[in-house]
Amino acid sequence: MDQLLTVQEAADHLHTSVRFVRRLIAERRIEFVKIGRHVRIRESALIAYVVAGTVAPLTAQNVTRSVA
């Protein structure tokens, strides 16, 4: 079972501010759980958010040069 993280713990995992995590929640950009008035974020939801935002590096095959 996933561990439920507080907003502070999620911010610590992402190395961001609490404000940023609260904005992700307000904009529904990350999955969260409400327990009464408390908000918790599943560890797997945090990992999914990071994976969804991961950009693969460019390789020599991906780079095209424009000839002027």
- pTM for the whole structure: 0.80
Query: What are the sequence ranges of the domains in the chain?
Result: 4-52
CB 24 within 8 A of CB 11: no
Is residue 56 very low, low, confident or very high in pLDDT (cuts 50, 70, 90)? confident
3-class SS of residue 4: strand
CB 31 within 8 A of CB 47: no
- Given a cut of 80, whether residue 14 has pLDDT beyond it is yes
* pLDDT, mean over the chain: 91
Distance CA 41, CA 51 (A): 15
> How do residues 15-46 score in pLDDT, each as one tens digit?
999 999 999 999 999 999 999 999 999 999 99
